[in-house]
Amino acid sequence: MFKIALLPGDGIGPEIIAEAAKVLRAVGDKYGHELEFKEGLIGGAALDEGGEGLPQDTLDLCRQSDAVLMGAVGGPKWDSLPGNKRPEAALLGIRKALGLFANLRPAKVFPALAGASSLKREVVDGIDLVVVRELTGGIYFGQPKGREGDRAVDTMAYSVPEIERIARVAFELAMKRKGRVTSVDKANVLETSRLWREVVIRVSEDYPEVHLEHMYVDNCAMQLLRDPGQFDVILTGNMFGDILSDEAAMLTGSLGMLPSASLGEGTLGLYEPVHGSAPDIAGKGVANPLATIMSAAMLLRYSLGLTEEAARIEWAVGTVLDQGYRTPDIAEEGCVPVGTREMGDLIVRAIQS
């Protein structure tokens, strides 16, 4: 039996998590796996219930599970709270508590959606890349930080072990893909980037089958728009990865199509869509569940080791899109409009077929 913790969160979170769980159940039934689901509170929903965005009960549930599938957190209702009390702070908290240091953000363009990108079809056709972002170090966590009078300080810091472990994640992933790693830094300016480059080169010696290249972050931002097809695995630090993964995401045409995985040393991982809680459409049944459904596919692949089952979900998503079904965010002329629940049902049927 596999134990999966569901953290629906806020806004459209409960709707999209319901569809992803439905798809996971369908995969379990088809392949003979027993899946046990238990729900926990996180974000604004947890704040409203007990005054904490990340309750201890939720952390306990996650640690007792094989994987965690999360919806989205936050919304205007909680915007007036201090930064460390807002729902979004629970994201940093759960990543740290579970030891999740590697964020995988795939950006893949489905042929049926190539026309939805803001770039020309010939530029985005066939894009299939992954940004591997270091998640628990760098400028977001470096000390000292704060304000002194009219001066503010943030410190970027990385240690050799931090760089080594994220680099190995990227090289191991590239071994299963097209065998290319682009390490992104700012080594012409930053000492942390010079250390980053030295360590990545040293780690690469353990992976002679993988081609390594280095790229400055500003050039990478430009190349993602000029020739995104050149990339396979992009390896980078916390802040650069935060920015570049959002840029790569927009190549696909919709945030509603983008999954993510946050991984640590073991098999436990946290899986969530890239998009936010979208409170303006919550409860209307129009949210796109595909990013969450594909996050569930990543959960099967990376935490449960079920690669065939993960591929079945991804195939089902492509099949349903090829048939012309679209939620409002990816709608185009001549498509068949469907809502959140209908899209989930279509994916289930494709899996069962």
| One-letter identity of residue 239 | M
Q: How many Cα neighbours within 13 Å face the side chain of 164?
A: 7
- Of 90, 74, 190, nearest to 142 (Cα)? 190
Cβ-contact 179, 232 below 8 angstroms: yes
Count other C-beta atoms under 10 Å from residue 223's C-beta: 16
Q: Is 218 marked active-site?
A: yes
- Of the residues 30, 77, 140, 154, only one is catalytic, namely 140
- Find the catalytic residue in 10, 108, 186, 329: 186
Tokens 């959960």 belong to which residue?
Answer: 299
Q: Which of 242, 302, 325, 329 is catalytic?
A: 242
Query: Which residues sit opposite 128 in a β-bridge?
Result: 108
Q: Look up 60 and say whether it is catalytic.
A: no
User: Can you tell me the distance from the alpha carbon of 205 to that of 296, in angstroms, rounded to the nearest whole number?
Assistant: 33
Task: Choose, from 48, 57, 218, 322, the residue flagged as catalytic.
Answer: 218
- 246 an active-site residue? yes
SS3 93: helix
d(C-alpha 112, C-alpha 97), whole Å: 39
Tell me which residues are annotated as active site. Answer: 140, 186, 218, 242, 246
